[in-house]
Structure 1
Amino acid sequence: MTGLHTAQSRLLMVAVVAVSLNLRPAIAAIGPLTGLILDTTGMGSTGIGLLTMLPVFLMGVGAMSVRLLRKALGEKFGIGCGAFILAAACVSRVWFDGGIGLLATAAGAGVGISIVQALAPSFIKRNFAENTGRAIGLFSTGIVSGAAIAAASAAGLADRFGWAPALALWAVPALLALAIWSVASRAAASEAPASSLPVETPAFWRNPRSWSLLVFFGIGTGAFMLVMAWLPPFYVERGQSPQTAGYLLAGLTFVEALTALGLAAFIHHFPDRRGPLVTCLVLVLAGLACLLIEPLMLAVPAVLLLGAGIGILFPLSIIVAIDHVRNPTIAGDFTAFVQGGGYIIASLVPLMAGALRDVFADLSQAWMLMAIGIVGLILLALRYSPESYRTFRQSLLS
């Protein structure tokens, strides 16, 4: 790790995970509370889809603005700012609990999340150089763990405090993460605001591999967002209670966290990422098949398969993008390009599912479309050989 002692590096990793834990609860807590929100606000399924779409869309906008964010804020200060904005958006949901207010706070949460996610990859690569894969795995583990906790606790907190305070309570861990970050990041290596020397960014958009990785990340993350937004309502429609539906989503995201953690521990054994990529995509495809064939009888297998597959797919998509570039700043810019367009693609998935639900009163069509997308990702993954990384690097120099 660059310039830090072991104790400092461990504390910094704790801070990174603490921040990452807060990057999905503002979205993940919505699914188990969909019925309450629909009854209170009168928002349709498309409106509920917008509550997920807006933050994810803004994640994409933030990723595409990474150079401006890095220049204006620097990595360390910028990540802290993002955590603060996220906390403010969450606590605002106590007062802004109507349809328009929920959409506004969802946008605010999206701004905070987008700043953190845009700046985190280059910060991590700069500070955990030889262990970037593991650090990204732990960062991703924090993301899905936060989603699991939010999904499992949402219905219970809503029963006790009301659904709006249940959403607002997520400001507390966000502020706690900000406090830890402020202490742990002081000695970390970071690209500062405008005072740092500029690094010329290659024209990623000219290379077909850049677009391939962008689409790959977008559809894969779309699967994550689809199940997070619509798995609980899907099971409530089939007679399960909101608490049970929330536990199913929590179980799925808990499995995601375990597999992401396992990926962090073992990914260095797989310099050729194609094996893990195809494996996780097959798992996701099998989980979607369970939802289509017999969702009630196969609920547990669906949760296990989707959780394991998405838990590997999400962090591995980022790792594969980072693998393509060696310079930390350029790697951050390239990851931002991939995530920027990818999150915009992913943001359309829960909105599309909500529109399909309004039309067909069912989500089976959404599962089917995602299954087709996963088959396409398998075909793309087979092309991501280590030799192709070197070809990509050479193309950037030409």
Structure 2
Amino acid sequence: MDDPLGVYVPGGRLDRQDNEIGALAGLTFAVKDLFDLEGVAKTCGSPAYAARFTEPATANAPAVATLLTAGARLTGRTVMDELAYSLTGANPHQGTPTNVDAPGRAPGGSSSGSAAAVAGGLCDFALGTDTGGSVRVPASYCGIPGLRPSHGAVPSAGAMALAPSFDTVGWFARDTEVLEAVGEHLLPLDSDGAEIGRLTIAEDAWDLAEPETARALASWQDRLRQRLTGGEAMRLAGDSGGLETWQQAFRIVQAREACDQHGAWIAESATALGSELAQRWDWARSVSDADAKAAWETVRSAAARVQALTEGGGVIALPSAPGVAPPVTADEEAWSDHRTRVLTLSCIASLSGCPQVSLPVTKLGGLPLGLGLIGPRGGDRALLAFASRLLPANQERDPGAVFDEA
């Protein structure tokens, strides 16, 4: 089968359907190549991992099984950043999937192939995972809706773990209608129990956006204020040292947990990691017990802050990413600055355990920009319902926003 956008791993095309009359029958989906698929050995984007773990899975991951039972047709396994430990979307071993809405630009990662497949029309929705932004960032770069659910809302069994305290199973869809339909099958009933009705504008998060990005998204703050109460601009991090302190805490805990998950086998591996991951891994191994303990104090404080602002139907508005997708050819210096600001934005929902949806609300210079909405933990269905009302399926990619207003 053809793969014009390079979204599937080598030999990764599939055609599986378990139920022809299920509620999702007629919809196709792809899965990030870190989920168990019966009879297949996943690679997790890493030759080192593939060489170490060679046995095919004996059953589908629960999330995959649920979608197949609901009637969706599985099209294949998608390219991802190596071991899901990056946000660029470039895999040194399997290539960089093409971002059709931003030619020559990065698709974002680590769920790069899943996002690119949906944006390119190769499937209706796709599973990814999101630890520190790996669904929300590609959704923004590729101009499609994407959801990071509440932590633990969707079972992560059968998926490679990176940092279990932050790992979530998320998905992309061609429009908000499909995004919500998938949630009807994967998400539990809301435990928060409130509809979205109150707005907070995360001022310090908006400060991280490039000026032209902030201007292009500004009208959506007003649209949200027209629909919701509140709307005050507030600095999320308060006097806790700023969002940069939150980001550093996230990175430290993520690194410690990644080493717990993969350190032993990587140390014994005869197959080298890619250069980007190898450098990041050297840093991850340097994190001390004292560093991790101090970081956890910040994590707990940040989580309490965000959960308090969103409980009972609150939503926090922020850019999904600080700007449009960077060029694939951007040098490491440019990527480093962009990556830091991306992670500082995306770590907010990760630290809190709250759900965040990214919506393709506008474009800048013809390139997609996403609006992020963080909802109450356990209020995933309410957040998706609100997103569908805010950006109906028939307005996807042309929502009536003023394009290129910067």
TM-score (norm 2): 0.28
Q: If each structure's strand is expressed as a fraction of its own residues, which one has the higher value?
A: 2
Give the structure, 1 or 2, with the largest relative contact order (CA under 8 Å, sep 6 or more).
1
